[in-house]
């Protein structure tokens, strides 16, 4: 037969375990991909490129991940990463891919919205924050498009 004291002790232990378990799950959940150098994962298409004289030149043909209006790609060039979106047949936007919250590389894209894998900040294709925790917009870079060549000035 359990005494009242034993019952209270066991109840307290069970409650402690439940609280600790829940807190641990929350802590682990927040540990995701906090490595700012980690650009793996995410669903965005990748393009490898080079920076030459302060510009990146991309050929946009039918095979390019940027062939369709509404598409976007993560352009990786000379240890820098850029988010490039085709917003109209002749219009592109280029942004830094480094999140303004804690510097993770942004690798998610869906429906004109970029999502950071670390804490879920979202940005539109002009770089504006549409969901925090980030509060600052992504830096933008000038783009020019002609004869299937996209030039990004970085």
Give contact residues for ligand FES (rule: CB under 6 A).
99, 101-102, 104, 116, 118-121, 133-134
**Closer residue to ligand FES in complex, CB, 83/134:** 134
Least Å from the CB of residue 46 to ligand FES: 19
Least Å from the CB of residue 146 to ligand FES: 34
- Cα(92)–Cα(86) distance, integer angstroms: 4
Give phi and psi for 62, each to the nearest 5: -65, -25
Task: Enumerate residues 6+ apart whose C-beta is below 8 A from 136.
Answer: 100, 129
Least Å from the CB of residue 115 to ligand FES: 9
Nearest to 105 by CA among 35, 30, 46, 49: 35
**Closer residue to ligand FES in complex, CB, 80/102:** 102
**Closer residue to ligand FES in complex, CB, 10/128:** 128
Least Å from the CB of residue 62 to ligand FES: 33
**Closer residue to ligand FES in complex, CB, 102/140:** 102
- Cα(2)–Cα(148) distance, integer angstroms: 81
Angle ∠(127,48,114) on CA atoms, nearest 5: 25
């Amino acid at each position: 037969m359990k005494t009242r004291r034993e019952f209270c002790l066991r109840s307290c232990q069970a409650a402690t375990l439940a609280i600790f378990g829940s807190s641990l799950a929350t802590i682990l959940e927040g540990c995701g991909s906090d490595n700012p150098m980690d650009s793996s994962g995410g669903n965005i298409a990748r393009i490898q490129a080079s920076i030459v004289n302060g510009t990146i030149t991309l050929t946009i043909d039918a095979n390019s991940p940027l062939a369709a209006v509404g598409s976007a790609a993560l352009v990786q060039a000379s240890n820098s990463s850029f988010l490039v979106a085709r917003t109209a047949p002749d219009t592109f936007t280029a942004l830094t891919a480094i999140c303004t919250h804690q510097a993770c590389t942004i690798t998610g894209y869906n429906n004109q919205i970029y999502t950071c894998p670390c804490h879920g900040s979202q940005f539109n294709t002009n770089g504006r924050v549409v969901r925090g925790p980030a509060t600052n917009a992504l830096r933008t870079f000038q783009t020019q498009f002609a004869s299937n060549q996209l030039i990004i000035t970085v």
